[in-house]
Structure 1
Amino acid sequence: MQDGIQRHHASGRRDDLRLSLNRLLFELSQFGSNAVVGWRPSGKGLELILLPKTRLFGLKNPINRVFEGPRHLSDGAFKQVADFIGGQPTEIRLEFPIGGGPNGLSHEDVESVMSRYSIGFAPFRTVFLIDVVGFSKHTPEEQASHLSTLKFSLSLAEATLQRAGLPMAMGRSTTGDGYYVWNLETGLDEDVSLFVLMALFSLYYKSLQREMADKMPLPDLRMALSGGSHYVFYEPSPKYVARHEYIVGDVTINAARLIGKARADQILVGDWSNTLEGPEAWTAQRYVLAANKVLSGFKKLKVFGDEVKESQFYLTGPKDEERFRNQKIKIIDKHGFEHICYNAKVNTHMKDGSAVFSGLQHSELRGTAKI
């Protein structure tokens, strides 16, 4: 029991020290206008490389460690980054030790605080965007109800993946009439899990839409899934509250461009490839195949009383002889830029003989530029 009390006191002290460090960084960040580029322990506390975000994003050909990886830098990397930026490190003197021990903070503790004030870069991640069709035509009460239903369906899908032991910690940010959705962790399995999340979300939302048709009709959605690079940042706060991640970059821009041309109930998947996962690039088609292997494990999943017999995510196209071919589509966004993508569907057949379909059939794509 005495050991438990000591651990409780140690945990409380660590919380207090993290809060104290967070307040110092909040002041140094000047309400988030400065970013922590790197840090290392010093004899009397910490050394920081701080840079105004406007200068940070203006750097020409930055070396990798400016944006990528943990903000805790080795002595060599710290000097390399400081020399590249041309800035003088800032020293923070602390009244507690860094590096472990019962009366101080570990390197992991410090990193958890520092990351809140940093700008990161992810070379690849998949993201999907949900948009409520005709959102502005609904009353504020209906809008709030619709967004709540989206969130509920997303949470159900996330919980389903987590119960199955799949790597999914959902991040999302609202666009006003929908959500950007991504996996907080990066990696091949995490990206495949995002495809599965979108498929299960479609199943849950469509099932709710069918159940509530007479009571409170739910609007149609349109969705776009893209892959690519982006920056990661966080909202600074003087309080040590739960960290909320924001992303912006090529992947979110591409998803937004696709959704701008998507029709009601359509799913568009960008034509991109991930070259970071081995010698053979991971294309959208390859991700879909991997996602379907995962979806095959969700047979017998109960969805509001019905049991799933089979669920499949696929890219549409015409039938050439005895096989279907994935058809590339060209869209031109409002700025005149071309984007190549695929039309997608999620078809789920239930054990009772009913079916839940999401997305448009290829035959419904009249007037679309196919290549």
Structure 2
Amino acid sequence: MQETVRSQLTVGRRDDLRLSLNQLLFGLSQFGSNAVVAWRPSGKGLEIVLLPKTRLFQLKEPEERIFEGPRYCTDEEFKLIVSFLGVQPTEIRLDFPIGGSGNGLSHDDVESVISRYSIGFARFRMVFLIDVVGFSKYSPEEQANHLSTLQFCLSLAEATLHQKGLPMVMGRSTTGDGYYVWNLETGIEEDISLFVLMSLFSLYYKSLQREMADKMPLPDLRLALSGGSHYVFYEPSPKYVARHEYIVGDVTINVARLIGKARTDQILVGDCANLTLGSDVWTAHRYVMAANKVLDGFRGFNVFGDRVEEIRFYLTGPKDEARFRNQKIKIVDKHGFEHICYNAKVNTHMKEAKSIFAGLQHQDLRSSPKS
């Protein structure tokens, strides 16, 4: 009993200390106009490197640690960043210790607070975009219903991945008529999980759309998935509330451009390549094959009272003799830039009900767009 009470007091004190540190940083951030580039413990608290965000994004050929990795730095890294930026560190004096003492905050605790005031950079992450077709034509009540349905299907898909023990901590931000969706964690397995998440989302949404056809029809969607680099930032708050991650960069631009050319019910997958592992290159085709191996584990899975016999993610193309080949598609966006992608489908065969198909068949692409 005493150990339980002591543990609760420790957790409560850590929460109070994190809140106190957060309030200090919020003030130093000037409502988010300054970013914390680096930090390290000092004899009396912390030393941090602060830089206006406008200056941060104007840096020419910045050192890798300016944007990448945790904001906690070794002494050598900290000195390198200070020298590169030509700034003086800011000392924050604290009345509690940083590090090993149970009366203070650990390095991870401090990092969790400071990261809220930082700008990060990810070299590669998969992101998909959901777009409701004809969203502006619906009433405000219908729009709210449609977006809440998308949220429901996304959350259900995420919970399904958790049941299977797959790495998925879903991030999402609204575009007004849809959502950007990504995995908060980066890595090959995490990106594969995003393919699986999109497949399950499509299955759940199409199943609901079929069930609701006569009662409250759900709108058609367009989906685009691709990978690439981006920046990560957070919304500062004087209160230590749940952290909301936002992303922007090449990958979000790319999926937005793909959506702009996608047809009703179409799924487009960008011809991207993850080069972060050196010679071990992960292409869109390789991700699809890996995702299908994971999707094999969903055979027999219950979906609204019926069971999945098979669920498959395809990149489509014409048939050459006895086999299909994946065909690249070139689209030109409104700015004149070219994007290479694939048409994709998610086919799910159910035990009792009819099969559920998401996406367009390759031969459908020859007809005039109807979106």
Please give the TM-score of this superposition, normalised by the length of structure 1: 0.98
Structure 1 position 293, deviation (Å): 0.4
Residue aligning to 1:256: 256
Q: 4+ residue stretches of structure 1 with deviation over 6 A?
A: none
State whether residues 295 and 312 of structure 2, in contact with CA within 8 Å, keep that contact through their aligned partners in structure 1: yes
Output aligned runs, 1:153-302, within 5 Å.
Answer: 153-277=153-277, 279-302=279-302
Residue aligning to 1:361: 361
Aligned residue type for 1:108 = D
Q: What SS is found at the alignment partner of 2:229?
A: strand
Aligned residue type for 1:82 = V
State whether residues 71 and 118 of structure 2, in contact with CA within 8 Å, keep that contact through their aligned partners in structure 1: yes
Q: What SS is found at the alignment partner of 1:260?
A: helix
- Structure 2: give runs of 5+ residues left out of the alignment: none
Residue aligning to 1:315: 315
State whether residues 235 and 244 of structure 2, in contact with CA within 8 Å, keep that contact through their aligned partners in structure 1: yes
Structure 1 position 94, deviation (Å): 0.9
Structure 1 position 5, deviation (Å): 1.0
Distance in 2 between residues matched to 1:321 and 1:313, nearest whole Å: 22
Q: 1:209-247 deviations in whole A, cap 9, x for unaligned?
A: 000000000000000001000011100000000111100
Residue aligning to 2:31: 31
What is the aligned length?
368
Structure 1 position 100, deviation (Å): 2.7
Distance in 1 between residues matched to 2:159 and 2:4, nearest whole Å: 32
Residue aligning to 2:343: 343
Q: 1:98-155 deviations in whole A, cap 9, x for unaligned?
A: 1131221111111110000000111000000000000000000000000000000001
Structure 1 position 278, deviation (Å): 5.0
Distance in 2 between residues matched to 1:96 and 1:271, nearest whole Å: 51
Residue aligning to 1:324: 324
Task: Flag the 1:302–1:147 CA change in 2: closer, same or farther, 3 A.
Answer: same
Distance in 2 between residues matched to 1:353 and 1:151, nearest whole Å: 24
Residue aligning to 1:133: 133
Aligned residue type for 1:283 = T
Q: 1:325-369 deviations in whole A, cap 9, x for unaligned?
A: 10110101011111000000000011125100000000011269x
Distance in 2 between residues matched to 1:217 and 1:277, nearest whole Å: 45
What is the percentage of aligned positions where both structures have the same residue?
77
State whether residues 182 and 194 of structure 1, in contact with CA within 8 Å, keep that contact through their aligned partners in structure 2: yes
Distance in 2 between residues matched to 1:75 and 1:120, nearest whole Å: 20
Aligned residue type for 2:293 = K
Output aligned runs, 1:83-94, within 5 Å.
Answer: 83-94=83-94
Q: What SS is found at the alignment partner of 1:310?
A: strand
Distance in 2 between residues matched to 1:207 and 1:52, nearest whole Å: 48
Aligned residue type for 1:4 = T
State whether residues 306 and 353 of structure 2, in contact with CA within 8 Å, keep that contact through their aligned partners in structure 1: no
State whether residues 188 and 277 of structure 1, in contact with CA within 8 Å, keep that contact through their aligned partners in structure 2: no
Q: 1:46-79 deviations in whole A, cap 9, x for unaligned?
A: 1000000000010000111000001000000000
Task: Flag the 1:15–1:290 CA change in 2: closer, same or farther, 3 A.
Answer: same
Q: What SS is found at the alignment partner of 1:167?
A: coil
Aligned residue type for 1:120 = G
Distance in 2 between residues matched to 1:367 and 1:83, nearest whole Å: 60
